[in-house]
Amino acid sequence: MSEVEFFNTGYEALSSGLIAASIAQLIKVITYICTHKKINFKIFTTTGGMPSSHTAGVIALSTSVALIDGVDSLVFAVSMGLSLIVMQDASGVRRAAGKTAATLNRLVDEFVSKNQEIKPYTTLKELLGHTPLEVFCGMILGIIVSFLIHDYNQIIACLN
């Protein structure tokens, strides 16, 4: 596929979303390495944390659609609707589920420490959702990535 066939197509929009989400996950891995001084590649496949990769992906997709088809297109309306749902879910439902998991883990820890004959248990995952700041940073990342991919030809021309 030539560069001309890639740009201003569904491939560009899909690639923008996937690249933005991947960059967000890579940022999480790098941040973890810097703060914990060890490598944990499981971070690349987990949810939660800064920035929101789900938000970065869907906003990059929506921004690419806006750049290709315009904000008055049906495809943009659908992609933006999906983006708003994903962002609300990340900062609302999944965040609340993470807080609930943290509370349950704390209660079970206290109960087990008082009752030694309890069998071992698996702790619930607490980092599920995002703060509004993490969602906002994911949104900014998605917008930037989609503009960079869309304007790739102009960027290369400026660098040459």
Instruction: Report CA-CA distances (Å) from 72 to 13, 57, 68, 78.
Output: 16, 21, 11, 11
pLDDT band at 110 (very low <50, low <70, confident <90, very high): confident
Give the gyration radius of the chain's Cα atoms. 20
- 112-to-30, 43, 98, 100, 122 alpha-carbon distances in Å: 35, 28, 21, 18, 12
Residue 118's pLDDT band, with cuts at 50, 70 and 90, is: low
Whole-prediction pTM: 0.74
Instruction: Render pLDDT for 17-69 as a digit per residue (tens, 0 to 9).
Output: 999 999 999 998 888 888 888 887 777 777 667 788 889 999 999 999 999 99
Any idea where the domains of the chain sit in the sequence? 3-92+129-159
For CA atoms 77, 135, 39, 109, the dihedral sign is negative
Q: What is the mean pLDDT of residues 109-113?
A: 71
